[in-house]
Structure 1
Amino acid sequence: MKNKIFALDLFCGAGGLTRGMLDAGIDVVAGIDIDTDAKFAYETNNIRQNGKSCQYIQQDITTISPATLKKLLPSRRYKKFLLAGCAPCQPFSRKNNKDTKTDSRKTLLEEFAKLVSSLTPDLVFMENVPGLPKLAPLIFTTFCNTLKKEGFKYIQYGVIDAKWYGVPQNRKRFVLLAAKTHSVSIPSPIFTEKTGFCTVYPTIAKLPVLKAGEQNAKDELHRSAGLSPLNLRRVKIIKKNRSELPEELVLACHKHTTGHHDAYGRMDPDKPAPTLTTRFFSITTGRYIHPTQNRAISLREGALLQTFPKNYQFHGSMQSIAKQIGNAVPPKMAKELISALVTGNKNV
């Protein structure tokens, strides 16, 4: 075992963070999540160092006992234990329109802190929305104070962009790295404006051509949502965004708005993709029109833009799979951040 480090992945979903940890040489014992459909993707695609699938525990994190999780912890042949996770970010998002003061999902970060205390890991990794410290200052401060109380002498956090680490997507995220015995820092960008970033077209160009509503016969994940005849007319006209539409094709809700034009926008093939949400399969929710074809990007294209391996399998409806993909931590980004946490980043 290369690093002799094992991990638990909280709020693991389909396994983006787990995939990144495995690629970084970490032996992921199990992932915990409430999503029924994600179990298939998590266990099918993620294999431990002993050749067995990473275990998926389908349970609400607020109801699972620390004693149950402690039974999963392996023997002392491992030198360190990493507790990692991305608590659902919607309660902390600026785009969330709900009253976040009463959103029960906010307690999930508090549950993460409780598990830090009860499971006593040596390393902690946390990922969330960029505005977390400002949007939930008390909860975030409590989380950091818990880490300090449990002996974490080295804590680094900040906002990064996934495109810095080889993800062909503009995706800003808040990350926290914590260790008890060695200094840590967020790794320096591998890709910059000077070097150029990974972009959309090379990432998805080799996939077979699809029409709106079609599914590829050899890859069931390479399927796109259907379009109404009216929306197909719009898509055929749009080269960049909906401002190119003639008056008769402009949606009533768009006629009096001065906001951004991401909805009904076409991806630029020579730039990183826009941030993929859980609705990236719909042209109505963002700049998700394929760069050269007259349709929204497919589920497989979304998975590749999130840097899932090209043969990564998923289960569920189109909406469910898109949610699994859109909510995931991009594996390539995860690998770089976890590697820095484990070894201690020298680029301080």
Structure 2
Amino acid sequence: MTQGKVVDLFCGAGGASLGFVKAGYEIVGAVDADPIALETYESNLCGEGSLDEYSGKVSFDEPLEADLSRDYEDNKVDEDLRTVTFQDIREYFGLSAGEVDIICGCPPCQNFSSLRDTEPWPEDQPKDNLLRAFVEFVEEEVPEVVFFENVRNILNAGDENPTTYIDWLKRSMGDIVKESDSPQNGGYGVALDVLNAADYGVPQRRKRTIGLFVYGYEDDEVSLPSPTHTEDATANADLKEWISVNEAFSQADSLYQGLEAGEKQVGLEGYPDDKAHRARAHHPSTIERMEAIRKRGDSWRDLEDTEDENLIVEAHQGLEKGASASYGIIDGERPAPTLTTRCTTPSCGRFTHPQKNRAITFREAAILMTFPRWFKLPSTNDDSERIVGNAVPPDLIQSLASRVSQSSSRTPLETTR
């Protein structure tokens, strides 16, 4: 018997779903608007025997491709894609009202990303329409638990009042009441904080806002699970050491670590073919720049005032601050920096391999996101890095979800306190 039934909204390629499956839950529905992400989800998580090694399961043959914006403006979604309510989702997956125990939601929130400036918005109005839609989905089902994952900057987004948006979110979730309950007995208690994925066994310093909402609880009765890992385990014997990039790669089964730029793990003696373990081909000048950076340090700024200064790209010439991560070398003895949707493009961040003069491969990026070795990625480069960079690390969700226990199938979930 599984721990509970989960619907994964804005499911992407299935990182959160896989985390819940590994923690023993049943995924009874998954919805997204991205066809490439959904193809990846289906090819990996759906079908007979695909997840037999785990205690949980996915109970449908294919996820639902639909617009989750509920007719709010979302310029990134195909205008011909139909919008859905939670009732539409129930009908598609054959669910009954009240059957879902957990709604997991990772709505895209570029408006709050550190990669762009925030914009003003009216007082008491949510800035991102997809988040407004997410709350409405919760209102239509009112599950016992809601998991929420988002960019870290959402916690301090606001112009005059940095907590404007989060105050709205907490208030909205606190006002949701089941038809059979009184306002005094309803509402969601919430624990909301920025967590570092490295503290939960992910070989990546990925800081994200994680929310746990539990129906019928007060805020002080809900807490996020404590970390399992730490940067310095000698200071806390109860925690494990952070998992480094080198450790993650060395533990990956049959991963050939000698790839050069433009090579892939196909036709290599002693290694199974893995088309996703392919390194982008770089211009000779890019490889020369990588070599010089490695010789001088780990950043293009280390080339300043040296005989290799001419290798600094024109866009960075004379730049006094910012962009220092571009062409940076990953420190193999630490967890990786946050992987983005350009995580195999060296000009877009600190994504150069710890030992090789190339960017990390798509498979290496997936490993740093804690996807299993068997996880299939799109065949095109840009789609592969976008799918991985947008993902939720499965092991982060597994670590959090495994410490949310359910005493029976229809009683409120209790968090580890």
**Separation of aligned partners in 1, 2:58 and 2:208:** 32
Residue 326 of structure 1 is matched in structure 2 by 389
1:73 Cα deviation from its structure 2 partner? 5.7
Q: Over residues 153-184 of structure 1, what are the superposed CA-to-partner deviations in whole Å (9 max), with x where a residue is unaligned?
A: 42111111000000001111111101125643
Q: Does 1:158 align with 2:180?
A: no
Residue 250 of structure 1 is matched in structure 2 by 312
What amino acid is the match of 2:331?
A: D
Aligned residues: 344
Residue 211 of structure 1 is matched in structure 2 by 260
1:91 Cα deviation from its structure 2 partner? 1.3
Once the two structures are superposed, the pairs formed by residues 293-312 of structure 1 within 5 Å of their partners are 293-312=356-375
What amino acid is the match of 1:222?
A: H
> Is the CA contact 1:70–1:119 (under 8 Å) kept in the aligned structure 2?
no
**SS of residue paired to 1:37:** helix
Residue 146 of structure 2 is matched in structure 1 by 124
What TM-score, normalized to structure 2?
A: 0.77
Residue 399 of structure 2 is matched in structure 1 by 336
1:94 Cα deviation from its structure 2 partner? 2.8
**Separation of aligned partners in 1, 2:213 and 2:355:** 43
What amino acid is the match of 1:164?
A: D
Residue 57 of structure 1 is matched in structure 2 by 64
**Separation of aligned partners in 2, 1:236 and 1:162:** 30
**SS of residue paired to 1:113:** helix
Residue 228 of structure 1 is matched in structure 2 by 283
**SS of residue paired to 2:147:** strand
Residue 115 of structure 1 is matched in structure 2 by 137
- For structure 1, the residue ranges without an aligned partner over 5 or more in a row are none
CA spacing shift, 1:155–1:77, aligned 2, 3 Å:
closer
**Separation of aligned partners in 2, 1:267 and 1:94:** 20
What amino acid is the match of 2:299?
A: N
> Is the CA contact 2:45–2:58 (under 8 Å) kept in the aligned structure 1?
no
1:250 Cα deviation from its structure 2 partner? 1.6
1:77 Cα deviation from its structure 2 partner? 11
Percent of aligned pairs with the same residue?
Answer: 31
CA spacing shift, 1:115–1:328, aligned 2, 3 Å:
same
Which deviates further from its counterpart, 135-144 or 319-328? 135-144
**Separation of aligned partners in 1, 2:98 and 2:87:** 20
**Separation of aligned partners in 2, 1:34 and 1:16:** 16
Once the two structures are superposed, the pairs formed by residues 15-164 of structure 1 within 5 Å of their partners are 15-47=14-46, 52-53=59-60, 55-62=62-69, 63-71=83-91, 72=93, 74=95, 81-97=101-117, 99=119, 101=121, 106-135=128-157, 137-150=163-176, 151-164=186-199
1:210 Cα deviation from its structure 2 partner? 1.4
Q: Select the structure of larger CA radius of gyration.
A: 2
**Separation of aligned partners in 1, 2:94 and 2:223:** 27
Match of 1:186 among 206, 211, 224: 224
What amino acid is the match of 1:317?
A: T
**Separation of aligned partners in 2, 1:275 and 1:8:** 26
**SS of residue paired to 1:222:** strand
> Is the CA contact 1:39–1:58 (under 8 Å) kept in the aligned structure 2?
yes
> Is the CA contact 1:164–1:191 (under 8 Å) kept in the aligned structure 2?
yes
**Separation of aligned partners in 1, 2:111 and 2:98:** 39
1:342 Cα deviation from its structure 2 partner? 4.1
> Is the CA contact 1:29–1:54 (under 8 Å) kept in the aligned structure 2?
no
Q: Over residues 128-157 of structure 1, what are the superposed CA-to-partner deviations in whole Å (9 max), with x where a residue is unaligned?
A: 111213215444333322321222342111
Residue 202 of structure 1 is matched in structure 2 by 247
**Separation of aligned partners in 2, 1:290 and 1:97:** 29
1:295 Cα deviation from its structure 2 partner? 0.4
Give the 4+ runs in structure 1 shifted more than 6 A. none
Which deviates further from its counterpart, 332-341 or 84-93? 332-341
CA spacing shift, 1:267–1:54, aligned 2, 3 Å:
farther
> Is the CA contact 2:112–2:118 (under 8 Å) kept in the aligned structure 1?
no
**SS of residue paired to 2:149:** strand
> Is the CA contact 1:86–1:126 (under 8 Å) kept in the aligned structure 2?
yes
1:265 Cα deviation from its structure 2 partner? 0.8
- For structure 2, the residue ranges without an aligned partner over 5 or more in a row are 70-82, 177-185, 234-240, 267-272, 407-413
**SS of residue paired to 2:101:** strand
**Separation of aligned partners in 2, 1:311 and 1:100:** 44
**Separation of aligned partners in 2, 1:334 and 1:38:** 18
**SS of residue paired to 2:190:** strand
What amino acid is the match of 2:64?
A: I
CA spacing shift, 1:263–1:130, aligned 2, 3 Å:
same
> Is the CA contact 2:11–2:105 (under 8 Å) kept in the aligned structure 1?
yes
What amino acid is the match of 1:203?
A: A
What amino acid is the match of 1:252?
A: E
> Is the CA contact 1:43–1:53 (under 8 Å) kept in the aligned structure 2?
no
**Separation of aligned partners in 2, 1:76 and 1:330:** 29
Give me the CA root mean square deviation.
2.4
Which deviates further from its counterpart, 183-192 or 92-101? 92-101
1:75 Cα deviation from its structure 2 partner? 5.7
> Is the CA contact 1:237–1:244 (under 8 Å) kept in the aligned structure 2?
no
> Is the CA contact 1:280–1:302 (under 8 Å) kept in the aligned structure 2?
yes
